[in-house]
Every structure is written in C-alpha cells, then in structure tokens.
C-alpha cells in the first residue's frame, strides 16, 4: 500500500474536534445486536410445556451424550457432517475446541503415538489474521503458535504443506473456513482439497475446522465451501478433521447449542472421554432450538432476517471508509459476503496508535494485534472491525472517528 502525504495540521484539528465530541462507542467484539436477539424471542417461552424428543426421550432427565437427533438433522447439512457423525452438545463451540485440545493432551488421539502432554513439542498453525480466542486457547496449553499468511483463498497452502510435511511437532491448524474471522475469506475448493489431502509428518494431525459462520450470509452470493470431511476421507485422512459449529450467532449468543463433527473413530475417542465428564447435554435447550428452527429452511429464513439487520452496518463500513479514506492510499479494508468482521489494514506500524487514538476519543476498538498469536502483529497494520452490535448510526459515527485516527497516525508517522 502506498501512502499519500497527509496534512498533519488538518489531521490534528480533525482529531481534536473528534475528542471534543466526547463519544462513548464500542465496536470491539463480534456480538449480535439486541434486535438480532429479538428474532429468537420465541425461545424465551419454548418448549412451552413439551418435554419429549422425537425418539420418546424425556429431555428433562439424564442421558443422551450425542444430543437430540432432530436438532442434529437441522444442522448436519450446513456443517457438512453426516447426521450420525454430528453431536449436539453444550452452549458453545469454543468449549468443544478447548475440550478437544484437553482430551488430545491427556489421551492418545486415534493415530497418535502418544498423548500430546507427552510430546516434546506441540505446535499449531495459525493463519493470520485470525481469531484471538483460538490462539489464546492453544497458548494456554503451551502449544507453540506458528503464523501462516491468509490469502484471498484461505491459508497460504504452499507454506502449510511445506511446514506440516517436515515438522512432526505440528499437530494442528486453526481454520475458520467460511467468512473467516476477521478477513471474511471463504476457503477456495482447492485450499480445502489440499488441506484434506496433504501429507503431514504428524500421524495425529488435526484440522480444527471452526465453521462458525456457515449460514451467516450478508448477500445472496453465498459462496460454497467444499466438504472437508468427505475430501479427507477420500484421501485416506478420515480422522484428520474436527468440525465445530454453534447457534451462537443464529439464536442466542451463549444460550445456544454447540456441535462437534468428526469421523467415527474420532467420535468413539471423544465419547469415551466426554462420557466421564457429563451424563449428557442440556436436551431441553436442544428441543427448544429444534422446535424454534424447525428445519434447514427455518434456519435460512432466520439468517435472512439477521442479514437485514446487519448488512446495512457492513455497507456503512465500506461507504464511510470509502468516503473518508478512499483514494488516500492510507487504508484498505475487506468487503465480506458474510460473517461478523471487517479487516482494516493501515500503514505498517500505525495500527496500535490508531487504536490508542480512538480509545482517547471514546471509541473502543479490538486491540491491535488481537488478530495474531500472543496479540502481536509483526507489521502492526491490522485492525478488526466488529460492526454488528452497535446501532447503525453509532457504527457510522465510530468509523468516521476511526478514519480521523488513521489519518492522524499516518501523518504523525510520516
């Protein structure tokens, strides 16, 4: 990115005016807005007396590690997992990713020579920019985080293939394959195929496939994601993939249902361990969700109403950045077709300063660096914008303010 000269004095004047307005705006996290949560208001009185699953199970009592079939059936197509290989679990997918890591640390994975806790070294590939909670989760277990560049088609597969082929310490890769957090990229078919087919030095390599935004379209484009479980099986790597998903940004964030999908060998491993942890998930909440969502079309209709609320906010990001920063060469930003984030790229070495300036002006942004392992973006150039939670007018106001900060940081640095 080439940067045009910015007039320092006018940038300072604009920033002083911004600070003078005494804003209190927050675009830090990918949270649904209250109006989005209102779309699922029915859940607040469901199952409305019902307590029997389609197979006759009393959902109020113990049992049923795999979760309700009627709910798993609704999400199997979107998550591209055969229903018999898909488990419906607790209230988040992050905890399933955590527990998959824990179980791999403490019990030999199918195909593993030893449990990860006994390995001299465990490393994960981290496509960057990526999701801070993934990286923090791995780091908490002492897992080494190796950065891999994201491209327009997913992780740079030349780098990935080379690393996993030569380094048996690399045990996994973090992927958000659809509308990736935070770039919005959907992995190309070739990327998915190469991930499924590549040779790994580690016999127990796992792809942590966090398909968090599979039905979270902002437009009618709806790019297709290749079926990684099927491709992995086709290439003799059936046990390579752990699929995760949840209803967190479909119904209620934190009061939804998480899903785990994998090969039968992985599921047997998983269930034997998880069966020591729990007598089963909250089946009442699963019944509640099945009754509310009904079927795939029910999910699709609901997601269209979400898009009606949040697409204008994403449009505002693009419009305001275009108006304020277009043609300056100071910034580029993604125009995602789905998901929850926009990635703003600013001149190298200025992202932290932009976030600091914004904070002083009353605009909370996700910390610069959060998109990289250990919170350190080597180029200090990436800022994640999360426009869903605030009202549209607030998003617009916040982003005009951010643009002022981008111009000032660039000017001061020049």
List of residues contacting a second copy (CB under 8 A)? 29, 31-32, 34, 37, 40-41, 43-51, 58-63, 90-92, 94-95, 98-99, 102, 105-107, 117, 133, 136-137, 140-141, 248, 252-255, 273, 276-285
Q: Closer CB to a second copy, residue 117 or residue 265?
A: 117
Q: Closer CB to a second copy, residue 240 or residue 288?
A: 288
Task: Report d(CA 213, CA 178) in Å as an integer.
Answer: 6
Contact yes or no for 199/359 (Cβ under 8 A): no
Q: How far is the CB of 35 from a second copy (least distance, A)?
A: 11
Contact yes or no for 176/150 (Cβ under 8 A): no
Q: How far is the CB of 255 from a second copy (least distance, A)?
A: 4
Q: Closer CB to a second copy, residue 41 or residue 393?
A: 41
CA 198 vs CA 81, 166, 223: distances in Å: 21, 12, 24
Contact yes or no for 342/336 (Cβ under 8 A): yes
Task: Report d(CA 51, CA 68) in Å as an integer.
Answer: 12
CA 161 vs CA 155, 193, 199, 225, 409: distances in Å: 10, 12, 7, 20, 38
DSSP state, 178? Answer: S
Place of tokens 């449009």: 315
Q: How far is the CB of 376 from a second copy (least distance, A)?
A: 18
CA angle centred on 20, ends 16 and 24, rounded to 5°? 115
Q: How far is the CB of 283 from a second copy (least distance, A)?
A: 6
| Other beta carbons within 10 Å of 42 | 13
Q: How far is the CB of 102 from a second copy (least distance, A)?
A: 5
Q: How far is the CB of 63 from a second copy (least distance, A)?
A: 7
Task: Report d(CA 354, CA 107) in Å as an integer.
Answer: 45
- Print the SS3 string covering 90-120: CCCCHHHHHHHHHHHHHCCCCCCCCCHHHCC
Q: How far is the CB of 44 from a second copy (least distance, A)?
A: 5
151's enclosing H/E stretch is: strand 144-151
Q: How far is the CB of 29 from a second copy (least distance, A)?
A: 7
């Amino acid at each position: 990115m080439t940067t045009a000269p910015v007039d320092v004095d006018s940038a300072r004047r604009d920033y002083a005016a911004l600070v003078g307005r005494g804003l209190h705006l927050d675009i830090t996290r990918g949270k649904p807005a209250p109006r989005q949560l209102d779309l699922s208001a029915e859940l607040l009185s469901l199952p409305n007396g019902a307590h029997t699953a389609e197979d006759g199970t009393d959902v109020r009592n113990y049992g049923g590690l795999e979760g309700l079939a009627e709910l798993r059936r609704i999400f199997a197509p979107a998550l591209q997992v055969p229903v018999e290989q898909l488990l419906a679990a607790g209230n988040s997918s992050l905890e399933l990713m955590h527990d998959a890591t824990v179980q791999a640390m403490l019990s030999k994975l199918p195909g593993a020579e030893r449990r990860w806790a006994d390995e001299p070294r465990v490393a994960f590939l981290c496509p960057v920019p990526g999701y801070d909670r993934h990286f923090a989760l791995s780091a908490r277990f002492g897992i080494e985080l190796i950065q891999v560049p994201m491209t327009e088609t997913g992780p740079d597969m030349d780098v990935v293939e080379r690393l996993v082929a030569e380094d048996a310490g690399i045990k996994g890769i973090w992927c958000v394959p659809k509308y990736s957090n935070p770039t919005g990229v959907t992995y190309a078919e070739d990327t998915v195929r190469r991930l499924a087919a590549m040779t790994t030095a580690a016999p127990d390599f796992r792809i942590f496939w966090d398909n968090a935004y599979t039905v979270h379209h902002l437009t009618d484009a709806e790019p297709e994601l290749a079926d990684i479980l099927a491709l992995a099986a086709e290439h003799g790597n059936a046990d390579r993939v752990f699929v995760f998903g949840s209803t967190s940004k479909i119904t209620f964030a934190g009061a939804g249902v998480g899903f785990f999908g994998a090969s039968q060998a992985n599921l047997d491993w998983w269930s034997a361990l998880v069966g020591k942890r729990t007598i089963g998930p909250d089946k009442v909440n699963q019944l509640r969700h099945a009754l509310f969502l009904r079927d795939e079309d029910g999910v699709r209709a609901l997601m269209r109403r979400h898009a009606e609320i949040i697409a204008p906010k994403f449009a505002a990001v693009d419009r305001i950045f275009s108006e304020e920063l277009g043609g300056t060469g100071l910034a580029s930003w993604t125009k995602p077709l789905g998901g929850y984030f926009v990635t703003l790229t600013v001149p190298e070495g200025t992202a932290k300063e932009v976030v600091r300036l914004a904070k002083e002006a009353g605009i909370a942004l996700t910390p610069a660096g959060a998109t990289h392992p250990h919170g350190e973006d080597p180029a200090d150039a990436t800022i994640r914008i999360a426009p869903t939670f605030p009202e549209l007018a607030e998003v617009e106001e916040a982003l005009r303010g951010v643009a002022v900060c981008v111009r000032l940081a660039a000017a001061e640095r020049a």
